[in-house]
Amino acid sequence: MFAIIGGSGMTQLSCLEISHRQIIRTPYGEPSGPLTFGKMKNENIVFLARHGHGHTIPPHAINYRANLWALHSLKPSHVIAVASVGGIRADLTPGRLMIPDQIIDYTYGRSFTFFEGKEKPVTHIDMTLPYSQRTRALLLQAAKNAREAVLDGGVYAATQGPRLETAAEINRLERDGANIVGMTGMPEAALARELDLNYASIAVVANYAAGRGTNVSSIPLKEIYAVLEQAMVGVRNILEHVVSCDGH
């Protein structure tokens, strides 16, 4: 079984033959919404809308622990997270797709670990490579098979949100080595690692980050949704090819 987490622009998976929806209870509360089960190319798929079906849960209020725990309980072979981001690097124009390989966490105040409480021992997880190399390779091969252009590797900056960043903050992120900026990459990636899930992300550039592109004084929010709608066609194409790749 593959698990897919949909972000902004993907509150449902149109290429999924839905069989049923199920609410899964977890020790950490309820996930963002019911999990959707079905098939894609005869492969079992479970889909979860990260922000809720109506896109009503802001990034800082998502119950990441419940989301990952619910998916973990189903023992998926891979967890693929789709996330919309802002492009910092000049070549990361709206509509581009990236399979990031690194992440920098600027979030705060989020429930970021399963290993807390007096009854649990201190546990350190290795985040040298924050995304599963197996899942990244699978996504890259699927993109090649689907003839969809993706950038292999890049640094995702996870910010708190829900507001967008200032131009000065984006300059700082760029100096830190970030190429794209989003609001949901952490603690999602770290929690997936704690649960030993094969987790990787498809980052969809929805807009230029603040101070970048041709309109440096503002971000045209109305244009973001049109870009996401078009880019998600490519994402769905990749996902359909993922389930056809060998070695999953």
Mean pLDDT for the chain overall: 92
> Would the annotation count 127 as a binding residue?
no
Identify the pLDDT of residue 224.
Answer: 85
Residue 18: predicted pLDDT = 87
Q: Is 8 annotated as a binding residue?
A: yes
User: Both tokens of residue 199?
Assistant: 């987790």
Judge whether 184 is annotated as a binding position.
Answer: yes
Nearest C-alpha neighbor of 199 from the set 77, 106, 27, 90: 77
Q: Is 72 annotated in some ligand binding site?
A: no
Structure tokens at 220: 């045209």
Pairwise CA distance, residues 248 & 242, whole Å:
8
Please tell me whether 64 is known to bind a ligand: no
Domains delineated in the chain: 2-242 (3.40.50.1580)
The stretches in the chain having pLDDT less than 70 are 9-12, 14, 215-218, 246-248
Rounded-to-integer distance, Cα 11 and Cα 46, Å: 13
Contact yes or no for 65/197 (Cβ under 8 A): no
171 labelled as ligand-binding?
no
Residue-level length of the chain? 248
pTM recorded for the entire structure:
0.92
Q: What are φ and ψ of residue 6, in 5° steps?
A: -95, 140
Residue 34 C-alpha from the chain's centroid: 18
- CA distance linking residue 13 with residue 38, whole number of Å: 10
pLDDT value of residue 229: 87
